[in-house]
Chain A
Amino acid sequence: MTDSAEMQAALEAVLFVASAPIPRSKLLEIFDEGERRAAGEALDVVVSRYGAEAAKGILVEEVAGGLRLVTRPELHGYLRKFFEVTGRTKLSMAALETLAIVAYRQPVTGPEVQEFRGVNSLGVLKTLLERRLVKIAGRKQVVGKPFLYRTTREFLMHFGLESLEDLPPLEEIEDVFGTSQTPLELETL
């Protein structure tokens, strides 16, 4: 029987080394089946030890359906200084609009994005693809077979979302013409 202190230490170690969020259940698989309940409690201890309230340099974040260690946002300046990063690239308004359309209306094609924005958006989509915030998820079976775009796991991680259901709700404005709103198509990645 592994004692709780060792479990906590082991969980901490795995989180420290992992490069992507690990789902809770997968994290607990490092222990025997009989010990999972105790391991779950040990994990809770670790999560609260590295919680937002704890004044540590790193914290455990629940994002994209898993757990990972990240730095505390306030420490940005020190990290930038040490790694000699002058500035992290901001997303332009055009990029944010396009990203919002893909996030809330996915899967969506390039021409559909253009229709929503009233502006040619292929260049912006390309930038978002390069930044891995959106991905190509097949083709729409219509004339021209345009690519369908979806947001990525990276998108969830970047915006600190557990799943797409965590997206801030779209402000629904009462439609005087009484037509029904397109229901949001949500899915968990």
Chain B
Amino acid sequence: MSSNAEQQGGLPESWRVQLPVFEGPLDLLLHLVRINEVEITDIPVAVICDQFYEYLQLMDELNLDIAADYIYEAAQLIHLKSKLLLPRPATAGGEEAEDPRQELVERLLEYQRIKEAAQSLGEIHSLRRGIWSRPSHPLELENDEPMIDLGDVSLHDLLGCLKNVLVRYDHEHPDPLHVSRETFTVRDQFQRLLEAVSPDRPFDLLADLRQRSCRAEIVAAFLAVLELAHLSLVRFHQTAGGEILVYRTARELQVHELEAIEG
């Protein structure tokens, strides 16, 4: 925590705080009640609300992520604070209306009880961690049919079982190794284009390239066009609109020229 604070150039040395770790917004509220030495049942909401907000700001300054749960609780507190500022309407019977803090108080009391129970469970847990027993997989008995006590099998166990089977299946049946062949060759594209172009009918190169199925095919087709031009088998004409039109020239293709092209 302190290293975090040191990174904050703006914070003076004396400000270095040990930030207690809270299990959640209710834990923080209980802490605030304790340090203010007030009763849970008589919370000064305005004070606690401000301190709660200060703590969130501190978390923010220390670059700690503020969980949404804290922000939600802060909003609840502000709502409660605003309610307390309003005059309480008297009920029909003239009795005093319900304290707006009641819900918060009940939640805090319940949380305090749970926290204490959690602490005593934790004590039992650490006392009993040293106890070992026979691992719980049953003996392999030589009965005809293994008996399964369904009472001990939960949905979670079944899902865990399925997961294990699937993992093992994947392990034992690995996917076949796919070696993808080079599907598009410059020579194929060369021949395709040579058949497509004609001496008197314009062939729209960009439109043709756009119709290719993938990047690799586009590249192969483009290289083929360069080859066609290199061998003077086609000529180009660019229109004012930017279209590139390809025409077949009169030159004949030699067999060795075709063979020289990358297949």
Contact surface of A with B, Cβ cutoff 8 Å: 17-20, 61, 68-76, 79, 88, 90-91, 93-94, 96-97, 99-101, 103-104, 115-120, 129-130, 132, 135-136, 152-153, 157-160, 167-168, 170-173, 175-177, 179
Contact of B156 among A136, A158, A167, A175 (CB under 8 A): A136
Q: Does B214 contact A (CB under 8 A)?
A: no
Contact surface of B with A, Cβ cutoff 8 Å: 23-27, 41, 67, 69, 73, 99, 102, 105-107, 109-122, 124-139, 152, 154-156
Interface on chain B toward A: helix, strand, loop, or mixed SS?
A: helix
A96 touching B106, Cβ below 8 Å: no
Report how far A68 CA is from B136 CA in the complex, Å.
12
Contact of B117 among A79, A88, A104, A130 (CB under 8 A): A104
Q: How many pairs of residues, A versus B, come closer than 8 Å at their CB atoms?
A: 136
The minimal Cβ–Cβ distance linking B73 to chain A, given in whole angstroms, is: 6
B156 touching A73, Cβ below 8 Å: no
Report how far A82 CA is from B158 CA in the complex, Å.
33
A175 touching B109, Cβ below 8 Å: yes
The minimal Cβ–Cβ distance linking B31 to chain A, given in whole angstroms, is: 13
Name, among B106, B128, B139, the residue most crowded by chain A CB atoms within 10 Å (CB to CB). B128
Contact of B107 among A19, A118, A172, A173 (CB under 8 A): A118
Q: Which residues of B contact A96 (CB under 8 A)?
A: 118-119, 121-122, 125
The minimal Cβ–Cβ distance linking A92 to chain B, given in whole angstroms, is: 9
The minimal Cβ–Cβ distance linking A129 to chain B, given in whole angstroms, is: 5
B106 touching A179, Cβ below 8 Å: yes
A68 touching B133, Cβ below 8 Å: yes
A74 touching B130, Cβ below 8 Å: yes
A117 touching B125, Cβ below 8 Å: no
Q: Which residues of A contact B126 (CB under 8 A)?
A: 90
Report how far A91 CA is from B128 CA in the complex, Å.
12
Report how far A173 CA is from B47 CA in the complex, Å.
24
Q: Which residues of B contact A179 (CB under 8 A)?
A: 106
Report how far A88 CA is from B128 CA in the complex, Å.
11
Question: A119 and B25 in contact (CB under 8 A), knowing A73-B128, A79-B132?
Answer: yes
User: Given A19-B136, A136-B154, A168-B120, 12 more contacts at CB 8 Å?
Assistant: A70-B131, A73-B131, A76-B130, A79-B132, A97-B114, A99-B118, A116-B110, A117-B26, A119-B26, A120-B69, A158-B128, A177-B99
